[in-house]
Each structure stands twice: as C-alpha cells, then as structure tokens.
A and B are shown apart, each in its own frame.
Chain A
Amino acid sequence: MQPLNRRHFFFGASAGFAGIAASCSSRLRTAGPTDGSLVSIVKAASYSVELTDVIRRILLEHRLPIAGRNILLKPNLVEFSATAPVNTNPVFVAAVAEAFHTLGARHVSIAEGPGHRRTTLEMAEAAGFFQAIPNFEDRFIDLNIDEVRRIRIQNPLSSLQELYLPQTALACDLLVTLPKMKTHHWAGATLSMKNLFGVVPGAIYGWPKNILHWAGIDKCIADLYYLFPKQFCLVDGIEGMEGNGPILGQSKQAGLIVGGAHPPSVDATCCRIMKIDPAKIGYLGLVAKRSSWDIGSAKQVGEPIASVATRFALHPDLEHLRLQA
C-alpha cells in the first residue's frame, strides 16, 4: 500500500472515482439505523495485501454516498502496544482512509477517545499510527477532549437521559467505525456497536467512562447506536483477539474484513464468524426487540460464513454464548 500524503487526506482524491461515487445511490442518506442489512465478508490474509483496493470494493458494493462528504474514521485504540492485537491495526486504518479518498471524500479525519488512559496520542504513536499515516497528529481528533454538545436520548434503553457528545462525531457526514474483531469479558464480543463507547468524552465522564457501566453496558451500547444513524462499519478481522479480550486475550488470525451500513447486522455476522451466538449478545437482543430487527436477517455477500467461520476462544465464564452447531 502506498503511504498517504497530506494532499490525499485533506483534499480527497481522483475525480474519476468521485464520479463513480457520486452516481451511486444515497443509501445512507435515507437509511435509518434499522434497515440496510447487507454485510460484506471479504478475505484479507494479512496487512500487507492491497487493502485499499479490497476496502474500496466493499464501499462500492454498498453504494455509499462518499463524494464531497466529510468522513470520520473511528478506530479502536485501547492500549500501548504495537504487537498485541488490542488496537485496530494502523495499516488497516490508513487503507480505509485511502479508499475513501479515492472515492472522492472531501475530508477524511480520524478520531478516538480511549477508555482507560488519557495519553491518546502517545498510545497512537506506540501502536504505529504515526508511522502508517503521515501527519497523523494533524489529522487526528481526541474525542475525549473535543468540544461537546448535549444530546437528549429519546426513549433510552439505559438509565441515561442525556449525554454530552463530541461535535466532531456529531457533525460528520458519515461515521465509519473501525473496530477490531475481539471477544469481550463483559459483553461477549466487542465489534462495531461497542466501539462507540469511544465517542463518549472522557473529559466529562472520566477514564473509564464509568457512567456507561452504571447505566447498563448493553443498554448504553444500544442507546449510542441509535444516536449515530449515519454509520458504516469495517471490522478489522484480519488479526483479531480471542479469550480474555478486549485487552488481555490472545491473537486470532481470522483473515477477514467485514463491512456494512447496519451495525447490528455487521456485529451479528461477526459473531457467527467467531462462532458466538448473536442472539445471546445482550446489545443485539435489545436492538432486535426495539426495532423489530431479525438477528438472522443480514444478507451476506462475498465469502459464505460457513467457509470463513473460525472458533474464537471465549473466557470460560462466557462459554454459554457459544453458537451451537
């Protein structure tokens, strides 16, 4: 993959791709969070393959309105580590940014608000983001200390009535969530929807954002999903994490990228790939109940689940979440 340059990032890329994108239908413009269940499953054996092309094909498949749009990439940045599969791989993030540029995005920025530590840029540096993405510091917004706006939660599932949320995440045209495919010792799996915990500002709620725990983890995950209807998900399943995730687990090579505009469908698909029963994941059940969404309704394109499914080890206390054959 070619490294990105500053011009790519700030001014988008070729008019040719922009034209293609502009002619695509406005799926996201009209899609609420309860429809659009197409999910792409694409093999990617490593981070050294031509990821930009792979991701660009996924984006075209979903006919996203990208040309001229402000795109915000939200990776999952958790800890100081360049080797353990705890953070979204920076090469993957760089490839996603490049793909959006080649499809005519006006502006692509990267943002995250880590949950345990406030040394965000230092963690990003240690994880390799500065190396993979030129001028990373100029392109990155720390959501933990961003300007905020008060958002009332309509019909909350959790006990939260409102949240202060970062302007950057609220104002973008498309929030592209880039989680790592990982097991989670509380939620079972941490994927697209759980990744939105990172938009909740630490400067107000702390490190960790403990208010979300007290208000109900699964319910808060579902509430956050409804607050951001313009999303696209690209799950970094090239190297995932199994066992005692999201921090202390082990590497799991799944060799996949999973993408889609409907986060619950993407997450349910990832669960099946990981051989976890999506019907037993609390936050997916809440969305299913709230929106009459059928957990099994996702329409998968690309690789069939059966051909790529790989058993992610679960913490022994969570074996009841295992998908039965």
Chain B
Amino acid sequence: MAEVHELQQRLLAAQNADGGWAFRAGGSSWTEPTALALLALGLSSQTADSRAVAWLVKHQNTDGGWPPSGAIPTSTWVTSLCVLALPKTQEHHERLRSATGWLTRAVNPEVSPLKQLLSRAGIPPSKAPGGSPWFPGTAGWVIPTSLSILALLRMNASVATVRQSQSYLLSHRCPDGGWNHGGSPFQRESPASYPETTGLALLSLAHTSPAELRPALRLGEFFLQQPGSLEGWSWLRMGLLAHGCRLEQSGVRPPPRSTRDISLLLLALAAGDAQNPLFLTS
C-alpha cells in the first residue's frame, strides 16, 4: 500500500500544468501517458483527476478519435486508451459513444479473396480482418488490436466486431504460442514472442477458452520470471491474472523508468480490482 501511495505521488508530481502528462520530464503533454495516468490514478479514487479529464476532453477530434498529442491532428490507436480512461458518466456519454464509433470503424474489415491469397503468399503487409492499426490506413497489429478489444468491451460494442478482433489475435500467434508485434511470418521466418505483447493479448482474450490459450499461458508464466521490462511485467501480470493464473512467483520486476511505466505498474498492482477498467471484462 505504501508503494502504491508513493507511486501515485510520483505520478501526480509529474503532471504538467495543462493537466496532461509527458513521455519525458519537462516535455509537452501527450495523449498516451495522460490516458494511462488517468486510468492509474482512478483506481484509488472515486473521482477522476479533473484536470486530466479536461485535457482529454479538449483534445478529442470531431471524428470521435484522439490524436497522439495536441500537435498532431490525426486520430490514432490512442483512442482506445481514452475510452478506457474517461469516466463512464452521463457527461461523457456522447464522447465515448463517438469514440466507440471511431474504434469500430478503425477495425480492418474482411478482405477480398485475392488479397487473402497475396497475404498468404507472404506479400507484406496485409490488412488482416479484425486487426486495428496504429495509424489510420495501415495494417492491424497486436497492441492496438488488444487495446481496441478492451475499449470496445468496456463500451459493450458490437459483439461481432470484438470477436473478429479476437480472431485476428488468435491467428497472429507466433509458433511458440505467444505474440510479438504482429508481423505475419515472412519467408519462412519463425519469429519469437515478446513478453509485453503476450501479456496484453492475453488480457484482451480473457473470455477465450483456456485450452485454446494453454501454450500462451505457459509462455506468459515463463516470461514473467524474466520479463525484460516493467512494461512486460505489468501486462503479463494483468494478462495472466485475467485468466485466473496463480502468480506465486512474480519474477524479477524491473524498475519504472518513466511516468508511463509508473502508470502501468499501478494498473498491474491493482490487477483484478473492481475499480480497474481493464478488468471489467474478465
């Protein structure tokens, strides 16, 4: 508890005067660290940080999405984090509704048989159906797709869309059972999974049959012993707990290096809490 309090204080101390958070001390506010901080701080409070909420509200685009920062006009994947972070109150109902629409439209649709054939032939990159892109107009990848699933589940969005995205994740596993960034196997490569993407993908597949995910869960438990980064440790802890795994040994936890890390750590330490929006789905 003392650790959580100390982390919260560090996070609050790093808040910019405009209500947002920067990636690095002294930098300008960006959407991702702001949404993550709002999520993390909201775990212990009945009321959201009003300045952070105001920052997000101010930066929502008219298309319903959010840009990576105030300096960039295009709505991107960070919209998922904003949907997860904004309080689900009447005040924000319309904002969340339009953001959910943006996320749903961002999911890559079914592709033609010809494109599927080219994709199978290894011609990169493919816009596999169900994947969500980092940046509009590009292919789907594991991290934005996983976060999109969590956000769409929170908003009780179309079941079909969520299932399509979950199918995308299941079809983009590495041969070892986990996930890397989501690149299709190319020219007989056998890519290895990453801890951070494996943890996040597991979190977004909380309702999937344990049998289907057994190799990924085993791999996740293995990764947790040496996650390589705090980000990896945090997503793995959340992903494994979402599937009811007992984490008797949580492995070596790397130290936080940024405010983003602190937010992820707070979310991981509160894995399974009723207040944690990332777990409302499990």
Contacts and interface: CB of A to CB of B under 8 A. Distances in A.
A298 B128 CA distance: 43
A145 B24 contact: yes
Interface in B165-204: 180-181, 183, 186-187, 189-191, 194, 196
B276 to A, nearest CB: 22
Interface in B138-172: 138-139, 141, 143-144
Nearest to B194: A117
B239 interface: no
A164 B71 CA distance: 10
Contact of B138 (A116, A119, A210, A317): A210
B23 A203 contact: yes
Interface string A200-225: 00011111101101100000000000
B32 interface: yes
Given A148-B71, A164-B72, A119 B232 contact: yes
B187 to A, nearest CB: 6
A122 B181 contact: no
Given A148-B72, A164-B72, A204-B72, A121 B257 contact: yes
B137 to A, nearest CB: 7
Q: Which of A116, A126, A185 has the most CB of B within 10 A?
A: A116
B77 interface: yes
B20 to A, nearest CB: 14
Interface in A100-124: 116-119, 121-122
Which of A142, A208, A244, A315 is most buried by chain B, counting CB atoms within 10 A of its CB?
A208
Contact of B141 (A147, A204, A208): A208
Contacts of B272: none
A78 B149 CA distance: 28
Interface string B65-76: 000110110001
Interface string A159-172: 00000100000000
B228 interface: yes
A214 B125 contact: yes
**Chain A facing B: main interface SS:** mixed
Nearest to A213: B125
Given A145-B23, A203-B68, A214-B137, A208 B229 contact: no
Contacts of A80: 228
B177 to A, nearest CB: 18
Nearest to B140: A210
A203 B30 contact: yes
Contacts of A205: 134-135
The interface centre, meaning the residue of A186, A204, A208 with most chain B CB atoms within 10 A of its CB, is A204
A60 interface: no
Contact of A204 (B24, B135, B180, B191): B135
Contact of B133 (A164, A204, A210): A210
A1 interface: no
A151 interface: no
A213 B139 CA distance: 10
Interface residues on A, range: 20 to 34
Contacts of B141: 206-208, 210
B134 A207 contact: yes
B221 interface: no
Contacts of B194: 117
Nearest to A186: B124
Contacts of A126: 228
A248 interface: yes
Contacts of B101: none
B28 interface: yes
A185 B190 CA distance: 13
A150 B70 CA distance: 12
A80 B227 CA distance: 11
A147 B124 contact: no
A205 B231 CA distance: 19
Contacts of B196: 117-119
Contacts of B228: 80, 119, 122, 126
A315 B187 CA distance: 9
Contacts of A117: 181, 194, 196
B27 interface: yes
Interface string A175-208: 0000000000110000000000000000111111
Nearest to A212: B138
Interface string B37-48: 000000000000
B260 to A, nearest CB: 9
Contacts of B143: 206-207
A206 B133 contact: yes
Interface string A249-271: 00000000000000000000000
Interface in A72-100: 80
A204 B187 contact: no
15 contacts: A116-B180, A117-B194, A118-B196, A119-B229, A142-B24, A185-B189, A205-B134, A206-B135, A206-B138, A207-B141, A210-B138, A210-B139, A244-B189, A315-B187, A317-B187
List the 4 closest A-B pairs by CB distance, nearest first: A206-B134, A145-B23, A119-B229, A122-B229
Interface of A: 80, 116-119, 121-122, 126, 137, 142, 145, 147-148, 150, 164, 185-186, 203-208, 210-211, 213-214, 244, 248, 315, 317
Given A126-B228, A148-B71, A206-B133, 17 more contacts: A116-B181, A118-B231, A145-B30, A148-B69, A150-B72, A203-B23, A203-B30, A204-B68, A204-B72, A206-B135, A210-B138, A210-B141, A211-B137, A213-B139, A214-B125, A214-B138, A317-B187
